[in-house]
Amino acid sequence: MADHNLDSLDPMAFTRLIPTRESHFAAAEARIPADYPANRLAAALHPAYQHLVVSEVKAETKDSRVYTLVPDGDMGCTSLAYFDAGQYLCVYIEEGSVVTQRPYSILSSPRDSLCGFYKICVKAVEGGFVSNHILENWCVGTKVRTSAPLGEFTYEPLRDCENVVAVCGGSGITPILSLAKAIAEGTEELSLTVLYGSRLEESIICRQELDILSEKCENIKVVYVLSHEEKEGYERGFITASKIKKYAPEGKYSLFMCGPEAMYKSLEGELSGLSLERKQVRREVQSECFAPAPDSPVSVNITVKAHGELKTVAASGKDTILRALEKAGVAAPSHCRGGECGYCRSRLVSGKVYIPEGLDMRRLADSRYGYIHPCCSFPLTDIEIEVFPKR
């Protein structure tokens, strides 16, 4: 029987290890590669910020405008980060030393970004701080800082059906408009049926573009639904299961939804009538949460630590912690504002919070270790939290 040992190997080889290694170092160039392909791609797709400038403003409807944003050469920005149709930009609004941010879906096409522009649509919101600030202040030449494109509301061919029915409400048309353009230009391969709900004919956003797209591309169909107006050529009322069934293609399809909270609420009841699997239903999260607990306190104190500094601010229990901090002029990070992306993740040091059902998208261990997403958490008591804004 053979001996199973290492006796055939030279133990003295050990003495040559360090000299061999030193010879490798001696022979090497004293140089580190400047860059690597994977890091180059990551930097191109995910710059920390993009410095842009408004190049065009177009009044879209009575209360909305489309802004064209191009690279701001003065700030050293020469090109735009490419994106997947359906993604958004976080727009940073600086007022004094306080920075607040809001997500806006990109409505231009991915290829447009290679040609050097993004388009976003801003609609007036009653009491909306950022949207009204933009509508009042932005003009051609305004300098704007945004994030890189972000978000998961995209078409994924390995997951989604080849047929997509998109249900949109109001300015929720924008990510789907980008998707339609991506289909027309050949960036994405799918068939798209859009059911687009608006109050009135005149409140339809980007009507002309939608009509041109559906005319020239047989993979794109658009159905307009008006809730507050009866007109020929339009569906009337809200978007229901029966309307979806009427226009949905034969066979399996994925349902993409983007719109205001009220639309999601009304669709919730409709979905059961469509016998879709959960994987077939995609929903853009990006919508501000206004649903505090019924017994939320009128006023609480939030003690907030950031970069080692402490501050206490008064807040209403009706506001999310993120909104409360923004109202009080405290810088806090955020991206999606719908609980999903986790970028606003903060440490709850003490106190109790309420997280509406379905919006708790935290990692399991975050819940265990006392981390919260302030964009969809409401204070129930005085609280102390630590936030981590970028400086």
Positions 107 through 166 that interact with other proteins (CB under 8 A) = 110-111, 114, 152, 156-159
Q: For other proteins, what does the binding mask look like between residues 248 and 267, x meaning CB under 8 A?
A: --------------------
**Strand pairing report for 191-198 and 220-226:** parallel
Closest distance to other proteins from the beta carbon of 165 (Å): 18
> Of 54 and 306, which CB lies nearer to other proteins in the complex structure?
306
Residue 152 Ramachandran class (φ > 0 left, ψ -120 to 50 alpha, else beta): alpha
What is the residue-wise DSSP string for 138-191? Answer: --TT-EEEE---B-S-S--TTTS-SEEEEEEEGGGGHHHHHHHHHHHTTSS--E
Asked whether position 298 contacts other proteins by CB under 8 A, the answer is no
- As a whole number of angstroms, the distance between CA 244 and CA 276 comes to 12
Query: Which parts of 341-370 interact with other proteins (CB under 8 A)?
Result: 342-343, 345, 347-350, 352, 361-366, 368-370
> Of 289 and 383, which CB lies nearer to other proteins in the complex structure?
383
Which of 228, 231, 236, 307 is close enough to bind other proteins by CB under 8 A? 307
Query: Strand 88-95's sheet: what is its strand order?
Result: 98-105, 88-95, 143-146, 50-61, 64-71, 118-123
Beta bridge partners of 150: 88
Which of 169, 170, 333, 374 is close enough to bind other proteins by CB under 8 A? 333
Which of 234, 238, 354, 388 is close enough to bind other proteins by CB under 8 A? 388
Which of 27, 59, 139, 298 is close enough to bind other proteins by CB under 8 A? 27
- As a whole number of angstroms, the distance between CA 22 and CA 139 comes to 63
Phi, psi of 336 (to 5 degrees): -80, -30
Closest distance to other proteins from the beta carbon of 231 (Å): 38
Which of 57, 61, 62, 84 is close enough to bind other proteins by CB under 8 A? 84
Closest distance to other proteins from the beta carbon of 66 (Å): 23
Among all chains, which residue has been given the structure tokens 């735009």? Answer: 80
Amino acid identity of residue 125, one-letter, is V
Asked whether position 46 contacts other proteins by CB under 8 A, the answer is yes
Asked whether position 390 contacts other proteins by CB under 8 A, the answer is yes
Q: Which stretch binds other proteins (CB under 8 A): 20-28, 193-201, 209-217, 221-229?
A: 20-28
Nearest to 49 by CA among 122, 152, 150, 175: 150
